[in-house]
Structures are given as C-alpha cells and as structure tokens.
C-alpha cells in the first residue's frame, strides 16, 4: 500500500530546527490516517485545491481521492519538501505553485472542493473566503481547520515554557484576537461618542486628548457647574475622568474612558490576563490613538484566533451555506469510517483549541417568495458595513462601485437561479394578496419597498458596465437609492397590473403611477417608515398639484433621508468615516423635499438645535441649547417638549416601522419660544424627564404644518 517515505528522510530536507519540528509534526501520522480523515468527511471529486498546503501531507492524501490536486503555498521551502516527497512516492496528479490564497490564479467555478488546514487564521479571512467562493463550483464544499483561543493559551503556558518565541507568538495572537473582537463590537464608536460628549461639555479638542496639560481657564467654572450634572446622570466614571485630566494622569484617563463601556471592560479584562505588561501598555497606547483619531484597524496584524460563531458569520456573509463544525477530527459525514485520532488537543483547560468546519456553495438559494425574507435582508444590510473606513485609493462618488463586486455578482446569479421575473411575479402576489382595492395594492407595494431596501449612504449596488442592477438583484442586495428603488417599484407595479413610469428630476428620481385616471407620485426613497404623502383630501399627490402648491409636500418627514454625517451608518467596517462621497447630509444642508420636485420651492430648514444643558434644582428643570443656524427664511422660534415618555429613537439608531415618527411626550411642558432656554416645574413623583427642541422657520407661512426635525433627545434623572 502507498505510504509516505521514511520520516527521517523527509525531516532531513529542512535546513533549520523549526522546519524540522514542523515536518515531524505533520508526517508523524501515516498516509492511511489522512485518507481516513478525508473519507470521514466524504471529500472526493475531480479537482481539489489544497490552499496553504505547507509540506503537503494532505495534498498527497487528497491525490488518492481526486483526479487533480492543486497545492499552493507562499513558502518555497515547504513546497520544495512536497515536490521531493511526490517524486519519491511517484505521485503525478499534484500541481504545485507558490501562490497566496488571498489571490488565486484559477478561473471561476473550477474546483469541487477547497481544503485549507491550519492556515486561514493567518490571512485576511474575508478576502480568502471570497476567493474560495469564486473558484468553487456550485454545490462544492470548503473544509477549514482553525485555532481558537485555547491554542494560543496552550502555546503560552505549555510549549512556551521551553521556547520563548512560541510563548511570544501565542501572546501576540491572543492580543490581536481580543482587540479585533472589540473593534467588531464597536469599541471605536463607543470611545469616540464618549469623548465627543466630554469634549462638548469641557471644550476639550479631540486632538488634545492625552496630551493636554491643563483645562482651559474659561472651562473651570463650567467644570464646577457640571459636577452636579455628572452625579445626577450617574456617570461617576466620567466625573473621575475629568479629575484625572486636572491631575494630568494621561494613562489613567484613557483607562477610565476605555472601561466605561461593557465592551471596553471586557477587552481590558481579557488583555490584562495575558502574561506580560507590554500588552497592558500597548492596549492603552492603542486606545489613545483611537481617541486622537490616528488609529487604523489595518494596523492590527491579521493573525488571530477564531471561534466557530465568528467564522460562521463570515461564511454566510460571503454566500456560503450549511455551516457545520466540530473539534478537530470529529467532523464526520460517513459514520461507517473508523474514528480518527485528533492531531492536536481539542481543548486546553476547558477552552476550545483546534476545530474544523465544512460548508457549501449553494447551487441556488431557493426561497419561497416571502416579504419577511426581504425584510430580514434589509435589516442585515442596515446592521452590516461593507467598506473599510481607511481605503486610500477609494474616492467615492455617486456612481462608485461601492458594493463589493463578488456580492453583486453572487446576487445577480441568485436572482437568475430564483427565476427572475417569475419570482418577482410570485412575490408581488404575496405582497398584495390581502389587498381589497387598488389603493390598498399601491399602499402594500410602497410599504414593502420602503422596508425591503435600506438606503445605504455609502454602499450601493452599481456596475460601471451594466449600471444599476435589475429589480430582483437590487432586492437581494437590499441596498439602493432613488434609481434602484424606482426600478423595483415599476417592476412590482407591472406585475400587479398597474401602469407606471419613471420621472426624472435634476437631483432625484421617483415614479408616477396611474391610479384611477390620476398620475400620482410614488417615492419610497425620500419617504420610508410607512410615510406616503397625500393632499388635503387624503389622495396621493400628482405633479400638477405639486406644481400648484409644492410646499404641501413638506408636511411629511423625509425618513429616508434622516441619516446624519458621522453617524454609524456613514462609517466603514473599521469604525472610521469612509473617505469621499457619502450620501448623508444634515437637514439644513439637504433642503426641503419640495424643492427636489419643484425647483422654485427649494429652501433649507434651520439646523437641528444642540441641547447643552438639562438639569434640575429646587423642583424645577432647566433646559438650554445652542441657537440653530438659518440659511434662508427667518427663525420664528423653537418648539420645546418636556415629558415623561421617551420618543425611543436617535439619529444613530432610528428603529423600524413608525418609531422614528414618535415625538418626545410634552405632558410636563410644551411651549414655543424665541429664547435659547426654558425652565419649568417638575411634578411630584417624577423621577425622569425627556426633552427635545425643534427650530421653526418662516417656511411655515407657506405651509403651516411643515415638518421640522427635532434635536437629539436628552434625558434627566431628577435628583
């Protein structure tokens, strides 16, 4: 029976002790062992890729189950070992190349199986998975073996006792792992928001953080007044932070701000458990660079440990399905095969150490037409960032290819596999199934499109050669702006038997729909959350009506355009602002919606007020704000709401459905004032108050019910 050459012959091919030890570990088992492992998972076919093959023990085993093996690695010395072994064994169906698995030199849909043992955690995993998806045939499978946290701890506390370099390697990997997990959980946003709040109160510039010597004299009196504010808000840690500024304890300041959030506390606890003070100092140095705005996620080395749930998320994001995992050598598809012994210890002190997984590239993600399926796609799009904040060559514009090409291509293929127009026809029937008349049909389609397509201010599906994708591909991407949305509306109206057409404006695209002999306006881009503009007779508006009185359109909140600059929607995966064109404007810069339909109506609302103080004293509340900026018209005053019920949303987290339309309750205080502050009595028994302020301009002379967005809501815990 075919077997490996004598292990000492193979070891002698290495020229240093590290490589000799590596070969000893990989070839200590015979060929039958590796064949058993492959047969357990029922891996076979015509072509297989051994990605990062190392010294090739798996490549040789795979050559006995596949017609052709492509073995690739970046290490030429290890490839030389494989070539030598194949010659000694007479194996001729293995192609060997020095290639990175992050950029594969193979055509699309080339392999039946991709096999990657113990290597992917040293790479940019999302890039590698996208490449695996590209070169894999539909229904093809991927096998991965990875290290979890327990392996790094095993290196630190066991193998590291005899080898300092191994111990340091385990420490560095563990540090990278914890830091990248915290970044994924939003630690950058959290630190930035806390610093922003502190800076706004004490006039401390972000760039001065961790280098400031003294708080400016003009801020000392404000510091004294704000002490009560800190205590009433139950944020003692932030109060202590200000004291540390006065005492010039830069590292302590950073530590307190870092540990203010649960994510930061978890990161600090994990890293302080790693042997060696340099990692404590490195963490504080990293946190300081985040606060200064100089930190880049790309500076964190890619080598890290992974838990199964983390890889599963990445696998599904890249279009794979049927993810399954087990500890090493325990993933069994054919139970008639004898149990294999793991090469490495599966757990170390109760923590997962080495594990493996299988997943498949679907031939087609066949789904029944379901509105909930598309709502879930949009919800995931809303929560998922696709671009890196720091991407130096990327200059975004309104027609940039900002949606990853491999995902766009995948969704195009999926749209075709689902049946294209046939699927859309069935989906339309599902949307309008319970409608009792034309008005309800239109309503159901508009609300569906509002919810099914997230208006991403950064990433939009677009191809320079093919332009905006077809309607079903857009729905599967679940991202799009006015042009995408108009195409989807027209497709759904067509399958409902209604006549519609595109209407192009200088700065906007909408749809006109023929409804009972009236061509009415349909806009699911500017208006979402169930908002459908109507005239004073509660009929959908026509262009003739808008030309006669465009200002009536301003009665309705443009919930599709609420995204503000520097909100988390405008940031990349690293948590930093994406460079270049981002379609997020403040309300006073975007302008009233009526001007997009009728240019003569164009105008700008006041900026939303910025509340600076909300505190209580002697059973009274005190609320003040910075004056709004007015670009046109005149400032009429401010509408103030103070009550006991929160509106439940913010501009960073608007919520779903009609949540964004809720206002702060005004059951304690309601007034319109020209001043920049108000005060009032606090009713007995009240322990918490909420407040919001809207700036009103003379635009209301054109339309008394013009909608003005309010400030961020603030909360007061009554002392």
Q: What's the whole-model pTM score?
A: 0.57
Name which of 97-101, 405-409, 473-477 the model is least confident about: 405-409
| Residue 501 reports pLDDT greater than 60 | yes
- Across all residues in the chain, what is the average pLDDT? 87
| Residue 253 reports pLDDT greater than 80 | no
Strands 354-360 and 321-327 turn out to be: antiparallel
Q: What's the angle, vertex CA 437, arms to CA 433 and CA 442, rounded to 5?
A: 75
| Residue 106 reports pLDDT greater than 90 | yes
Higher pLDDT, 623 or 563: 623
| Residue 56 reports pLDDT greater than 80 | yes
Q: What is the pLDDT of residue 225?
A: 44
Name which of 153-157, 260-264, 644-648 the model is least confident about: 260-264
pLDDT tens digits for range 574-613 = 567 777 778 899 999 999 999 999 999 999 999 999 999 9
635: region left, alpha or beta (phi > 0 left; psi from -120 to 50 alpha) = beta
Name which of 182-186, 215-219, 374-378, 704-708 the model is least confident about: 215-219
Q: How far apart are CA 719 and CA 709, in angstroms?
A: 30
| Residue 240 reports pLDDT greater than 60 | no
Q: Where is 360: in which H helix or E strand?
A: strand 354-360
Stretch 430-455: mean pLDDT, rounded?
Answer: 96
Stretch 171-200: mean pLDDT, rounded?
Answer: 82
| Tokens 């004056």, located at residue | 627
Segments making up each domain of the chain, as ranges: 7-148+306-360, 178-299, 371-570, 610-717
Q: Do domains 371-570 and 610-717 have the same CATH topology?
A: no
Stretch 319-331: mean pLDDT, rounded?
Answer: 91
CATH topology of domain 7-148+306-360: Rossmann fold (3.40.50)
Higher pLDDT, 705 or 413: 705
pLDDT band at 481 (very low <50, low <70, confident <90, very high): very high
Name which of 106-110, 185-189, 371-375, 492-496 the model is least confident about: 185-189
Stretch 681-698: mean pLDDT, rounded?
Answer: 96
Stretch 658-673: mean pLDDT, rounded?
Answer: 91
| Residue 216 reports pLDDT greater than 80 | no
Q: What is the pLDDT of residue 190?
A: 82
From edge to edge, which strands make up the β-sheet containing 321-327?
Answer: 94-98, 66-73, 45-51, 111-117, 136-147, 354-360, 321-327
pLDDT tens digits for range 359-417 = 999 865 556 788 999 998 998 888 877 776 554 444 556 666 678 777 788 889 889 88
Q: What CATH number does the domain located at 371-570 have?
A: 3.10.620
DSSP characters over 390-402: --TT--B-TT---
| Residue 702 reports pLDDT greater than 80 | yes
The structure tokens listed for 505 are 């404006």
The full length of the chain comes to 719
Q: What is the pLDDT of residue 254?
A: 72
SS3 string, 5-43, reads CCHHHHHCCCCCHHHHHHHHHHCCCCHHHHHHHHHHCCC
- Of these ranges, 179-183, 199-203, 333-337, the one predicted with the greatest mean pLDDT is 179-183
Higher pLDDT, 569 or 217: 569
pLDDT band at 262 (very low <50, low <70, confident <90, very high): confident
To the nearest whole percent, how much of the chain has pLDDT over 90?
Answer: 63
Stretch 251-274: mean pLDDT, rounded?
Answer: 80
pLDDT band at 204 (very low <50, low <70, confident <90, very high): very low
| Residue 660 reports pLDDT greater than 80 | yes
Q: What is the pLDDT of residue 264?
A: 85
Q: What is the pLDDT of residue 211?
A: 39
CATH topology of domain 610-717: Immunoglobulin-like (2.60.40)
First to last CA, the chain: 83
Q: Which of 73, 75, 80 is nearest to 117 (CA)?
A: 73
The structure tokens listed for 47 are 């072509």
Q: What is the pLDDT of residue 429?
A: 94
Contact indicator for 593, 407 with CB cutoff of 8 Å: no
Cβ neighbours of residue 561 closer than 8 Å, sequence gap 6 or more:
455, 526, 585, 590, 593
């Amino acid at each position: 029976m075919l077997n490996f050459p004598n292990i000492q012959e193979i070891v002698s091919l290495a020229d240093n002790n590290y490589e000799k030890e590596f070969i000893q570990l990989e070839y200590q088992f015979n060929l039958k062992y590796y064949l058993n492992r492959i047969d357990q998972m029922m891996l076979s076919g015509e072509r297989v890729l051994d990605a990062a093959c190392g010294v090739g023990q798996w490549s040789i085993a795979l050559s006995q189950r596949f017609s052709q093996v492509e073995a690739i690695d970046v290490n030429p010395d290890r490839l030389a070992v494989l070539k030598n072994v194949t010659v000694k064994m007479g194996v001729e169906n293995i192609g060997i190349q020095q290639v990175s698995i992050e950029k594969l030199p193979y055509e699309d849909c080339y392999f039946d199986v991709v096999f990657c043992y113990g290597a992917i955690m040293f790479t940019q995993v999302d890039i590698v998975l996208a490449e695996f998806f590209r070169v894999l045939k539909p229904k093809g499978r991927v096998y991965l073996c990875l290290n979890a946290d327990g392996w790094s701890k095993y290196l630190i506390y066991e193998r590291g006792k005899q080898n300092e370099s191994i111990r340091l390697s385990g420490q560095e990997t563990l540090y990278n792992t914890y830091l990248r997990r915290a970044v994924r959980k939003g630690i950058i946003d959290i630190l930035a928001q806390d610093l922003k709040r502190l800076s706004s109160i004490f006039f401390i510039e972000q760039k001065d953080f961790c280098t400031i010597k003294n708080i400016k004299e003009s801020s000392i009196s404000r510091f004294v007044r704000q002490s009560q504010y800190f205590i009433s808000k139950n944020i003692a840690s932030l109060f202590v932070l200000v004291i540390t500024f006065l005492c010039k304890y830069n590292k302590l300041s950073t530590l307190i701000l870092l540990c203010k959030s649960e994510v930061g506390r978890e990161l600090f606890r994990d890293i302080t458990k790693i042997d060696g003070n340099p990692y404590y100092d490195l963490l504080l140095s990293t946190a300081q660079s985040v606060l200064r705005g100089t930190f880049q996620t790309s500076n964190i080395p890619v080598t890290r440990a992974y838990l199964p749930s983390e890889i599963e998320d990445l696998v599904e994001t890249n279009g794979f399905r049927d993810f399954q995992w087990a500890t090493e050598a325990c993933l069994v598809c054919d139970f008639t095969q004898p149990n294999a012994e793991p090469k490495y210890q599966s757990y170390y002190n109760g923590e997962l150490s080495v594990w493996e997984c299988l997943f498949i590239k679907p031939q087609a993600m066949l789904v029944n037409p379901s509105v909930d399926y598309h709502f879930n796609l949009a919800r995931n799009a809303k929560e998922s960032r696709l671009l890196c904040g720091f991407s130096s060559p990327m200059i975004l514009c309104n027609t940039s290819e900002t949606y990853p090409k491999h995902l766009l291509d995948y969704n195009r293929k999926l749209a075709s596999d689902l049946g294209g127009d046939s699927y859309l026809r069935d989906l339309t029937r599902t949307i309008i199934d319970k409608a009792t008349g034309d008005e309800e049909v239109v309503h159901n389609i508009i609300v569906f499109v509002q919810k099914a397509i997230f208006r991403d201010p950064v990433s939009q599906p677009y191809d320079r050669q093919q332009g905006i994708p077809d309607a079903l591909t857009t729905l599967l991407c679940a991202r799009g702006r006015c042009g995408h949305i108009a195409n989807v509306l027209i497709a759904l109206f067509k399958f409902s038997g209604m006549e519609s057409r595109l209407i192009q404006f200088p700065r906007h695209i909408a749809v006109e729909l023929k409804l009972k002999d009236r061509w009415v306006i349909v806009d699911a881009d500017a208006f979402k959350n169930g908002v459908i503009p109507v005239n004073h007779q509660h009929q959908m508006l026509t262009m003739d009506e808008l030309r006669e009185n465009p200002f009536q359109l301003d009665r309705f909140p443009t919930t599709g355009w609420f995204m503000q600059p520097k909100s988390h929607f405008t940031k990349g995966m690293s948590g930093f602002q994406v460079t270049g064109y981002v379609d997020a404007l403040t309300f006073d810069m975007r302008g009233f919606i009526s001007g997009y339909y009728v240019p003569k109506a164009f105008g700008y609302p006041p900026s939303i007020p910025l509340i600076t103080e909300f505190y209580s004293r002697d059973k009274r509340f005190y609320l003040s704000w910075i004056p709004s900026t007015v670009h046109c018209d005149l400032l009429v005053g401010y509408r103030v709401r103070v009550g006991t019920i929160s509106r439940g949303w913010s501009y960073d987290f608007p919520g779903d459905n009609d949540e964004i339309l809720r206002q702060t309750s005004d059951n304690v205080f309601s007034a319109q004032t020209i001043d920049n502050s108000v005060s009032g009595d606090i009713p007995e028994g009240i322990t918490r108050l909420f407040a919001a302020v809207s700036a009103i301009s003379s635009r209301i002379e054109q339309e008394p019910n013009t909608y003005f967005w309010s400030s961020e809501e603030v909360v007061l815990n009554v002392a």
